[in-house]
Amino acid sequence: MNSPITSSNDPSTADTASTVSITPRLDVRHLSTFFDTDEGLIRSVADVSFSIRPGKTTALVGESGSGKSVTSLTLMRLLSRTAATQVSGQALFTNRAGETLDLLALPEPAMRRIRGNEIAMIFQEPMTSLNPVFTVGEQIAESVRLHMGLDRSAALAHAQRMLELVEIPAAAQRLHEYPHQLSGGMRQRVMIALAMACNPTLLIADEPTTALDVTIQAQILELMRRLQAETGMSILFITHNLGVVAHHADDVAVMYAGRIVESAPVRELFALPRHPYTQGLLACLPAQQRKRELAAGEVGAKRRLYAIRGQVSSPLAPPPGCAFEPRCDHALAACREAMPALESAGPHRSARCILVRETATVPALPVETA
Amino acid sequence: MKIPLTLKKLFRRRIVLAAGICLLVVVLVALLANVITGYDPNETAVRERLSVPTASHLMGTDELGRDLFARIAFGGRYSLTIAALTAFGAIVFGTLFGLLAGFFRRLDAPIMRVVDAMMSLPDILLAIALVAILGPSMLNVVLALVLVYSPRVARVVRASTLVVRELLFVEAARAVGVSTGRILWRHILPNLMSPILVQASFIFAYAILAEAALSFLGVGVPPEIPTWGTMVAGSQQYAHEALWIVLFPGLAIILTALSLQLLGDGVRDLLDPRLKKSL
Amino acid sequence: MTRYLLSRLMGMLVVMALVAVLVFVLTRAASGDPVTVLLGDQATAEDIARVQKEYGLDKPLPVQFGYWLKELSQGNLGQSIFLQRPVTQALWERAEPTTLLALLSLCIAAAIGVPCGIVSAVFRGKFIDQLLTGFAMLGASIPSFWFGLVLMQIFAVSMGWFPVSGYGDPGATLMARIHYLVLPSTVLGVLNSALIIRFTRASMLDVLGEDYVRTARAKGLSEKVVVLKHALRNALVPIVTVLGLTVALLIGGAVVTETVFGLPGVGNLVVSAVLRRDYPVIQGALLVIAMIYVVINFLTDLLYMVVDPRVKY
């Protein structure tokens, strides 16, 4: 692994993190998104830092409400622009020409030139993400005409090529069909075609397969992998599905309650999770349960699946110290005092836990409960 | 930062509150007309005819020297009564047929066809025709307007009944053996109260406007009865000399109709915040 | 599609049949006798009997209904008792002012209502939205006759910019006619824009919250394109609905406005017919108006098909 994934809290060390560093496609630093509501300040995203390498896939993992979607919307600047939204931090994006821009500081017209062009996004709900009154071809062509300046017929021809690229059969015919004439899986392929139309360098995929059948899921993921290999684009993959992460991501960043709690290359994360939350997540997988049973020699015994005890705290009443502390089996008194900082936990790894900092050894895996 | 959002919420409720107070004031002024205005609405004073609003005549006088404020206050009794009775009648009548159409599948099509037929004529025209048949009198105007607005209520009640009918507790009541009448009265009807209340408020407002229009055209209540509409009708020829003769009764109508509609909106928001604001 | 058309046609016929019965019953059940009104108090019994026989008013009601239906099927709406000519002709003569008035008013109402509704939705919650919504509520509370009288007083009598009443001389040009129609159509247009603003605003708000609008923004389209192209097209169905409703409201509103401004239109005709108990005219006019309503509803439904490709009958 050549380029750094971790980002320390100390800006002075940022550039010297590694000897041979390829500029990341996207380098997010201390991103925060707060919403000022009637009931209080909601810290949806707090101090999030991660980076995405060119041509690689970074997975952003977390449960519902952890802030993953808000992160992606903040990066694309698609949040509704009300006075109640407060965004801070930097999102350093390196475009095709090699320039590095801070997405959060760009004027809106410049950002519009990037959206759908250099950075494309696909969303979770393919059934409702396409405009029902325009044909599929028109919607793709619109993007092409906007960013690549082609005329109508050239744009439609390009749109057809895109439909073929995403393996939609009878593409020439589908070009003139309306979204309601296509199935969910097809529509997601169209969304991908739309996203790829202008050859983006970064694709943000917000839970793109969650709403699809399992068999279609596999096809779509395979498609995305192939497209990445062909075009060399980076992917920011947002999901709560660890199985998908294991098979399709290169780097992983785990989010909890709006913060990154651990980040690592994928194999290292699965082999040796450092943060108690990550350990808990992995322990929940039924496959892990079987492994533990095998190790303990209790094959065939009927055991309960492990679940992390407790629930995520309300965003309006966060715990005083570490957000995960109320649910953590290894919590110390010090955990309640202050939010731990995101610190290095090994080469290209970081974790937000004082136990990782203080002990050289890895905390034990969660204890089984009867 | 927080203030604008909260203000907006309050503002909405405050407007509804203001509307309610306005309406109350209108009703009170109408009820206590003599006490408040201090003039007899029928007392003519030809020497003071068509006088501009002054301290002694807050809204001026009409062509016969009658104090306009007193006339409007007094006339409010008639306009408000007619409209209120209309709203009440339309609700009762419309709810009855709406319930029947929504609950009994076989009655649905025939009732709704009649509703469609009645609604395929513009409100005013239907009202004119009905008053023409029944003859000009306060009661007949009420009856005519009830017939004009009942179909509207029937449609809304039917739509809501169709939804409520499918809810589980109705099925449960049936299973336990509750009679149909009781189901309609005690189970379905209470759940329709919120759309019915909203409709009542709007129909009250429409009735005020409709009665005024009918009276203005001369096909409403007899001109001797001083509703706001007949006042404008009787005085319109003097409008060029004394616009306030026409202006103030109109403002009374606007104020009342507006307050009622704001109240209806506010009630709708309060009782079902998820409901889309389409009308 | 043909099945749908046929079933709609059947439905329309049923409704029209009901309307015919309704209209007939309404006019015949009147408490006044047109013949007395026509001939005056001095009429003798023989005169009354003679005129009654002439107009077939002496036959029993069901028979009169039968005659009327028969004539209807031949396109004959009967003879006006007071105007001494066929109802159809009377209606036709008066169709132009009412139609022009309705068209002008619809244009004004839509030109004000739709853009204001869009602005209101895009700037939701801000001052302009509250202002426009308030204006919409106000518009729905203003009696049209009052508004007409006030405008007439200010712009016609005081300032003299427009004629006070009437429709112009026979043979006047279209522009001259329009000059007479400016005030009345402003009255109707402004007051009816209220409903259009509310519907448009609600519809746009619904659409602006949809996922495909987010997708459009994610494509890098400007906000103007997102609102006016992607959002508005989808908001059109309720807007078309309210425009259809508005035509219906305008026909009703024309009655009052024609009276205020002395326009020789259908509305005016109906009012005077009612006052004089001219049955054939009342029946004929109501029937024609109902038919126009029904046809407009049908056309609106067909228009949905053009606007929204998901709609297929």
Query: Across chain A, what does the average pLDDT equal?
Result: 85
Confidence class of residue C89 from pLDDT cuts 50, 70 and 90?
confident
3-state helix, strand and coil shares in percent for chain A, rounded to the nearest 5: 35, 20, 45
Q: At what angle do helices B2-31 and B244-271 cross, to 10 degrees?
A: 130
- Spell out which residues of chain B touch residue A36, defining contact as CB-CB under 8 Å: 1-2
> Is A129 within 8 Å of C211 when comparing Cβ atoms?
yes
Q: Give yes or no for A38 touching B (CB within 8 A).
A: yes
Mean pLDDT of the region C119-142 = 91
User: Tokens 């939010």 sit at which residue?
Assistant: A339
Yes or no: say if A73 and A251 are a contact pair by the CB < 8 Å rule: no
Nearest CA to A313 out of A334, A327, A329 is that of A327
Summarised one tens digit per residue, pLDDT across range B63-92 is 777 888 888 888 888 999 999 999 999 999
Nearest CA to A57 out of A168, A274, A208 is that of A208
The Cα of A126 is separated from the nearest Cα of chain C by a number of Å equal to: 9
- Spell out which residues of chain B touch residue C289, defining contact as CB-CB under 8 Å: 121-122, 125
Q: Which tokens hold the place of A146? A: 């906007």
The Cα of B135 is separated from the nearest Cα of chain C by a number of Å equal to: 7
Nearest-by-CA chain A residue for B9: A38
How would you classify the pairing of strands A202-206 and A85-94? unpaired
C26 vs B272, more confident? C26
Cα-based angle C93, C13, C306 (whole degrees, multiple of 5): 85
B67: which residues sit within 8 A by CB, 6+ positions away?
Answer: B37, B39, B41, B43, B57, B59, B61
Q: In the prediction, which pLDDT does C42 show?
A: 65
Q: In the prediction, which pLDDT does C56 show?
A: 66
Q: At what angle do helices C61-73 and C2-28 cross, to 10 degrees?
A: 140
> Is C256 within 8 Å of B217 when comparing Cβ atoms?
yes
The DSSP annotation for B230-279 comes to HHHHHHGGGTTT-THHHHHHHHHHHHHHHHHHHHHHHHHHHH-TTS----
Summarised one tens digit per residue, pLDDT across range A174-192 is 999 999 999 988 999 999 9
Mean pLDDT of the region A286-304 = 72
Q: In the prediction, which pLDDT does A250 show?
A: 94
Q: Measured between alpha carbons, how far is residue B196 from residues B160, B201, B203, C20 in Å?
A: 10, 9, 10, 31
The one-letter code for the residue type at C12 is: M
The residues that bridge with A237 in the sheet, in sequence order, are A59, A205
B5 vs C79, more confident? C79
The Cα of B139 is separated from the nearest Cα of chain A by a number of Å equal to: 51
> Is C212 within 8 Å of A130 when comparing Cβ atoms?
yes
Write down how long chain A is. Answer: 370
The Cα of A70 is separated from the nearest Cα of chain B by a number of Å equal to: 21
Confidence class of residue A202 from pLDDT cuts 50, 70 and 90?
very high
Nearest-by-CA chain C residue for A79: C214
The residues that bridge with A120 in the sheet, in sequence order, are A203
Mean pLDDT of the region A8-26 = 57
What is d(CA C240, CA C196) in angstroms, rounded to the nearest whole number?
Answer: 10
What is d(CA C16, CA C10) in angstroms, rounded to the nearest whole number?
Answer: 10
Summarised one tens digit per residue, pLDDT across range C53-71 is 766 666 777 777 777 777 7
The Cα of C301 is separated from the nearest Cα of chain A by a number of Å equal to: 17
Q: Is residue A253 classed as helix, strand or coil in its secondary structure?
A: strand
* Dihedral sign, Cα of residue B241, residue B247, residue B248, residue B249: positive
A191: which residues sit within 8 A by CB, 6+ positions away?
Answer: A122, A123, A126, A129, A130, A208, C215
A82 vs A47, more confident? A47
- Spell out which residues of chain C touch residue B124, defining contact as CB-CB under 8 Å: 252-253, 255-256
> Is C211 within 8 Å of A113 when comparing Cβ atoms?
no
Q: Is residue C67 classed as helix, strand or coil in its secondary structure?
A: helix
Alpha carbon distance, N-terminus to C-terminus of chain A: 41
Residues of A near C (Cβ–Cβ under 8 Å) read: 76, 78, 112-117, 120-121, 123, 125, 128-134, 142-143, 146-147, 178, 180, 191, 194
**ipTM for this prediction:** 0.84
Q: Is residue A260 classed as helix, strand or coil in its secondary structure?
A: strand
Yes or no: say if B79 and B145 are a contact pair by the CB < 8 Å rule: no
Question: Which C-chain residues 159-198 have CB contacts (< 8 A) with chain B?
Answer: 195, 198
pTM metric for this prediction? 0.82
> Is A36 within 8 Å of B2 when comparing Cβ atoms?
yes
Q: In the prediction, which pLDDT does A196 show?
A: 92
Summarised one tens digit per residue, pLDDT across range A20-62 is 568 899 999 999 999 988 778 888 999 999 999 999 999 999 8
> Is C220 within 8 Å of A146 when comparing Cβ atoms?
yes
Question: Between B and C, how many CB-CB pairs are < 8 A?
Answer: 147
Residue B278, pLDDT above cutoff 60 = no
